[in-house]
Amino acid sequence: MLRICCVVGARPNFVKIAPILRAFEQACRPDIAVKLVHTGQHYDPGLSDLFFTDLEIRSPDLHLGVGSGTHGEQTARVLSAAERMFLTERPDLVLVVGDVNSTLASALAAAKLLIPVAHVEAGLRSRDRTMPEELNRIVTDNLSDLCFTHCLEASENLLREGVEPERIWFVGNVMIDSLLRYRSNARRPEGLDGLPLTERAYAVLTLHRPSNVDQREDALTVLRAIEPVLAEMPIVFPMHPRSRTKFEQHGLGGMISGLGRLHLTDPLGYLGFLYLMDHARLVMTDSGGIQEETTVLGVPCLTLRTSTERPITIRQGTNRLVGLDRDAIAVALDDVLADRWPRGQIPSLWDGQTAGRIASVILDDWASTLESR
């Protein structure tokens, strides 16, 4: 029996793990046992429960309940809880996805117990070590026995860092598996009926990076930077709970209320947010995954950062880095309105079949190698 623990902790993880669990189930292999472990890093219903429902993910077999905290506190709690859980479960492989604190801590706990680690979405690099996610990626990749990459550039990053070629598997983008599966099911979110969501006549905004919301001056800069867009169209802003707390602490509620075309909503489930993106004129974000999703949807994306770990979305997709530069945003907006935005193309293996390739590598190639040792 091959025992596999799939560990998730935050909203982006759920989008990636759903097709992987489905691929393991479709393999119909009686000799494997797959358990889903939720660390509890994201515990707000809008960031967890809604996604489990929309993505048809089964209830976790184990829930570690670590909750929020500073990066150090949260990582330490996941590390301690995951170690205890692995000692009890004794998995043959721990599969982690993405780059959140749960990813790093679970990989470290497994590696210290000499349990092989598989990392889905390996090799992404922004070259910006001020981003906590960048540090998580680098360490997790170095701990992993199987590095599943979503583009050839990510594989090349790993090779340059000394990762052995036999540990690297280019399989494609598993997040796009979910997007293609559920795109036709996406519906206008409930509770937004009063908002002006005429197709291709509104923008979507998401913010959650500490560099954009933690300091009052940065949050204020964001609000000023998006004013050129507000002059042309309404903006729908599904607000991350952490971002909402920060904006309230900064005393910016009055300014937000004064931006009459900026419409705040609670966090949306996967299907509701997918609908918003798919029908928007443009999307503004500091998220990583949204850069990829808009590339496949063909929607212009303005990334409110100065670096990205997903440069393929700029070269081949519909993404452009603008930072918090009001002038850069205004220029990009002019290009969108004048229909000068690149149409983009879908990168190789972003075809909705990535999870099947991951399952095949693990159940066939890797398992066979393990048995022969």
Virtual CA dihedral for 219, 220, 223, 224, nearest 10 degrees? -140
Q: Scan for tokens 């001020």, then name that residue.
A: 130
Active site residue 240: no
- Taking Cα atoms as reference points, which of 226, 231, 269, 223 lies closest to residue 247? 223
Burial status of residue 153 (CB atoms within 10 A of its CB: 0-12, 13-18, 19 or more): middle
Query: Amino acid identity of 322?
Result: V
Alpha carbon distance 274, 178 (integer Å)? 10
Distance (Å, rounded) from C-alpha 248 to C-alpha 256? 10
Closest by CA to 20, choosing from 112, 93, 126, is 93
Determine which one of 42, 208, 240, 279 is catalytic: 208
Question: Please, are residues 294 and 303 in contact by the beta-carbon 8 Å criterion?
Answer: no
Contact at 8 Å (CB) between 351 and 172? yes
Strands (E), the chain: 2-8, 32-38, 62-63, 93-97, 117-122, 146-149, 168-170, 203-206, 235-238, 262-265, 282-285, 301-303, 319-321
CA dist., res. 52 & res. 59, Å (int): 8
According to DSSP, the β-strands at 319-321 and 117-122 are: unpaired
Helix and strand numbers (H, E) in the chain are 18, 13
Question: Which letter does DSSP use for residue 197 in this model?
Answer: -
Give the residue numbers annotated as catalytic, written as ranges: 208
